Amino acid sequence: MKTATIILDKDYTIGIVDPRLFGSFLEHLGRAIYGGIYEPGHPLADEEGFRTDVLELIKKIQVPVVRYPGGNFVSGFRWEDSIGPKPLRPHRLDLAWKTTETNEFGLHEFLHWCRKAGTSPMYSVNLGTRGIEDARNIIEYSNHPGGTYWSDLRIKNGEKEPFSIKLWCLGNEMDASWQTGQKTAYEYGKLARESAKAMKIIDPSIELVACGSTGPLIETFGDWELTMLDQCYDYVDYVSLHRYYENPSGDTADFLANSCDMDEFIQNVSCLCDSVKGKKHSKKTLNLSFDEWNVWYHTKNQDEKIQTQHRWEKSLPLLQDVYTFEDALMVGSMLITLLRHADRVKIACMAQLVNVIAPIMTENNGSAWAQTIYYPYAHVSQFGRGTVLRAIVNSPVYDSKNFCSVPYIDAVGTLDESGTVTIFCINKDLNEDFKLSLDLRAFPGLVMTDHILLSHPDKAAVNTKENPFNVIPCSVNNDTQENGQYQVLLPKLSWNVLRFSPERRD
């Protein structure tokens, strides 16, 4: 059996976990909203039409922040269409996804839903077809107490107290050719700056995310960050990163190695931000908002067909990727990577939350269930709080098609307020189990309280409506301890959560 070691020490830390690292994303896309979180008439819908079965699944993963309403959708969206009496709200063509938006679910509904889901909003403004004027208006509507046209309209629409939305995105993927209202880096940087100025005059307590590149492979990557930040560095608080991974050729080893790409992407964007900081002699360090990340590829061909055959129809079943066990491992690896960068990445949103490339699926008028990727997300959100520990991992490595020296064992540790140490770790080896030795000398009073394991003999295994518990975690008990060294068995291709809590002396 192969072996690896992990050493953890409480003095070797990376940073404090910002709870917003475990955020998610809901776009007016496909069945995310209509038939996802909102379905009046569903047997389990509440008085506002929110599906309570979906709310329960969301509450279990403790989602701290939800980005909304897009995504590509926001670049053609008029936020005023989504307020006021529902029968008067206009139906509009959504150019991003070639469907029709009814606006039945809008700003007020989203904020009510956030309260029920125990989450907070991250609201995107449209800097594609719109600009400064609309950005200032929605801040005034949402966050100003009253006595002006927009704030009084909010009160008239039933909300006396301001919504006080704290976190805002300045547009979405404005570098991308598919974006309605695509901009050059200079145009966007200037627009982001002027919108930010206006928004912060109305509410100086808000935080703003500027659009970074759509991904590291887009040809303007790097130049985009430098040019747009040159314009808006002093006015924004975060830069966004987006990244999706795929495995169309079925090369699992290479697919799982993509965490190296994510790691490099985060490092490169940090360097780009710091380069602008240096040029400007600024005292401010910009943090990162990785506000779209996931696996996305299973439905791409099918989506094109649906969009062609059902152009301009409502709530089409788009991006309904059914995730495999292998995808859950990749998601786990991305979560480990995010935790390893907790000093710099303060916000991250798994894209998305329900039905659209999502951990939760629903059937119209039917059940809701958790996909494979739900579980690593739930574990890290539930247990990955507190301080991130810099795990020293000694693991054999492998070379894949696109990556060299990829450690088979990918791991990170956290220390929470109760003194519990949690180690999240993946065995990426397709063929062999690993014996992992854990050196926890720096934590003498801790005892192992749980080993949660997610594994499956079939890497293509999925959860479906008919078989929703095919891939689920379980607790195992095959670990041993001697002189502060734990020996843990990590089965081939597995996600593991190892928990060590202070010994109870009662």
The catalytic residue positions are: 173, 292
State yes or no: residue 140 binds ligand AHR (CB under 6 A).
Answer: no
Q: What are the residues whose beta carbons fall under 8 Å from the beta carbon of 454, sequence distance 6 or more? A: 325, 328, 332, 372, 375, 376, 471, 472, 473, 494, 495, 496
Closest contact distance (angstroms) between CB of 426 and ligand AHR is 24
Sign of CA dihedral 154, 157, 159, 161: positive
Q: HSE-up of 3 (CA within 13 Å, CB side)?
A: 5
Closest contact distance (angstroms) between CB of 173 and ligand AHR is 5
Rounded CA separation 142/139 (Å): 5
Helix (H, G, I), strand (E, B) or coil at 85: coil
Q: Which CB sits closer to ligand AHR, 374 or 500? A: 374
Amino acid in the structure at residue 140: E
Q: What are the residues whose beta carbons fall under 8 Å from the beta carbon of 279, sequence distance 6 or more? A: 230
Q: What are the residues whose beta carbons fall under 8 Å from the beta carbon of 219, sequence distance 6 or more? A: none
The strand pair at 120-125 and 238-245 is best described as unpaired
Closest contact distance (angstroms) between CB of 343 and ligand AHR is 26
Closest contact distance (angstroms) between CB of 466 and ligand AHR is 27
Please name the residue that has the structure tokens 């599906």: 51
Q: Which CB sits closer to ligand AHR, 71 or 76? A: 71
Encoded one letter per residue, x for contact with ligand AHR by CB under 6 A and - for no contact, window 64-103 reads ------xxx-------------------------------
State which residue has the least CB distance to ligand AHR: 71
Closest contact distance (angstroms) between CB of 489 and ligand AHR is 37
Report the residue from 4, 18, 27, 443 that binds ligand AHR according to the rule CB under 6 A.
27
Residues in binding contact with ligand AHR, number by CB under 6 A:
9
State yes or no: residue 30 binds ligand AHR (CB under 6 A).
Answer: no
Closest contact distance (angstroms) between CB of 146 and ligand AHR is 34
Give φ, ψ of 202 to 5 degrees. -70, -45
Are the C-beta atoms of 84 and 109 separated by less than 8 Å? no
Q: Which CB sits closer to ligand AHR, 352 or 455? A: 352
State yes or no: residue 292 binds ligand AHR (CB under 6 A).
Answer: yes
Q: What are the residues whose beta carbons fall under 8 Å from the beta carbon of 505, sequence distance 6 or more? A: none
- Per CB under 6 A, contacts with ligand AHR among 150-179 are 172-173
- Per CB under 6 A, contacts with ligand AHR among 387-416 are none
Q: Which CB sits closer to ligand AHR, 138 or 318? A: 318
State yes or no: residue 352 binds ligand AHR (CB under 6 A).
Answer: yes
> In the complex, which residues of this chain contact ligand AHR (CB under 6 A)?
27, 70-72, 172-173, 292, 351-352
